[in-house]
Amino acid sequence: MLGNFWQEQKIALIAIVAVVVAVFSSVVIVPETEQAVVVRVGEPVRVINRFAPKTDFGSTGAGLSLRIPFLERLVRIDKRMMTVDMERQQVLSAEQLRLEVDAFARFRIIDPVKMVRTAGSTERVKEQLQPIFSSVLRQELGKRTFQSLLTADRGVAMKEIREGLDRQAREYGAQVIDVQIKRADLPEGALESAFSRMQAAREQEATTIRAQGQKSAQIIRAEAEARAANIYAQSFGKDPGFYDFYRAMQSYDYTFANKDGQSTIIISPDNDYLRQFKGH
């Protein structure tokens, strides 16, 4: 059956196959996430779905495109935002303090033709950017003190690193969008001394807290005594003479009366207590 058909329609079939092959080799699909450089015998001639900042997805050049079969070759390049990670490395700050720094940069290929000419592939771009990244970072962080890196200057530093890196990345047709310092930390050895510093600080804090507590306690006691004195003075000041007598009586009571007869009191008959003894 089919053989028969083949025999009869040989030419037509071959023609169909040829057309299909021609279509498949001249029509290319470029997805939204890629841009493609068309290389005609070694020379980049045009870009399909080139990155354009303001274009919304759907109105880009993605989708079906034509090329001249066999003559033109497609180099596909990621259109999305990509990341260059900088390996953790030690950087010297302005005051010669060693810092351990982790950072990443986000970039995008904005000039695919240039990129194809200079680097060839996005992987190569990343490889090229990495040493540049770390040298720019060293330069920038070397201008700053560690303390300033921890706070306000961090943003400024990152911005300047971004600009420095971006200048160089343009050579590869890439645009650096953002640089973020993930960590800016003390290296392993300094960590130990940081710990002992923290420990000493805590111990100092503990001692201070104890001393402060004792001080406050003392003040509270003194204040109470003062107030008590005030209360006494107000009350007893009404008649110092009577107070003297009253308090003496209390004192005699306390000193002599409450112990069980252990004192020997020698009284002169002239004593006021024995006044009536004399009987006159």
Binder among 139, 183, 188, 244 for another protein (CB under 8 A): 183
Q: Does 145 interact with another protein (rule: CB under 8 A)?
A: no
Decide: 23 and 68 in contact? Cβ < 8 Å: no
The pair of structure tokens assigned to 52 is 């354009």
Q: Does 260 interact with another protein (rule: CB under 8 A)?
A: yes
Q: Which is nearer to another protein, 19 or 245 (CB)?
A: 245
Q: Which is nearer to another protein, 42 or 269 (CB)?
A: 269
Q: Does 214 interact with another protein (rule: CB under 8 A)?
A: yes
| Residues ≥6 apart with Cβ < 8 Å to 156 | none
Smallest gap from Cβ 62 to another protein, in A, equals 4
- Binding segment toward another protein, per CB under 8 A, in 18-26, 39-47, 62-70, 86-94: 62-70
One-letter identity of residue 100 = E
Q: Which is nearer to another protein, 12 or 274 (CB)?
A: 274
Decide: 99 and 105 in contact? Cβ < 8 Å: no
Phi, psi of 179 (to 5 degrees): -125, 130
Q: Does 268 interact with another protein (rule: CB under 8 A)?
A: yes
Judged on CB neighbours under 10 Å (0-12, 13-18, 19+), 183 is exposed
Binder among 135, 167, 220, 244 for another protein (CB under 8 A): 220
Phi, psi of 72 (to 5 degrees): -105, 140
What is the spatial distance between Cα 87 and Cα 126, in angstroms, rounded to a whole number? 12
What is the spatial distance between Cα 257 and Cα 251, in angstroms, rounded to a whole number? 9
> How far, CA to CA in Å, does 135 sit from each of 96, 214, 234, 266?
17, 55, 81, 103
Q: Which is nearer to another protein, 116 or 149 (CB)?
A: 149
Smallest gap from Cβ 265 to another protein, in A, equals 5
Smallest gap from Cβ 213 to another protein, in A, equals 2
Smallest gap from Cβ 249 to another protein, in A, equals 4
What character string, x for contact with another protein (CB under 8 A) and - otherwise, covers 22-61? Answer: -------xxxxxx----------------------xx-x-
What is the spatial distance between Cα 203 and Cα 110, in angstroms, rounded to a whole number? 56
Site for another protein in 65-104 (CB under 8 A): 78-83, 104
DSSP class of 14: H
Smallest gap from Cβ 140 to another protein, in A, equals 16
Q: Which is nearer to another protein, 43 or 124 (CB)?
A: 124
> How far, CA to CA in Å, does 107 sit from each of 125, 135, 166?
10, 17, 9
- Binding segment toward another protein, per CB under 8 A, in 11-19, 66-74, 127-135, 211-219: 211-219
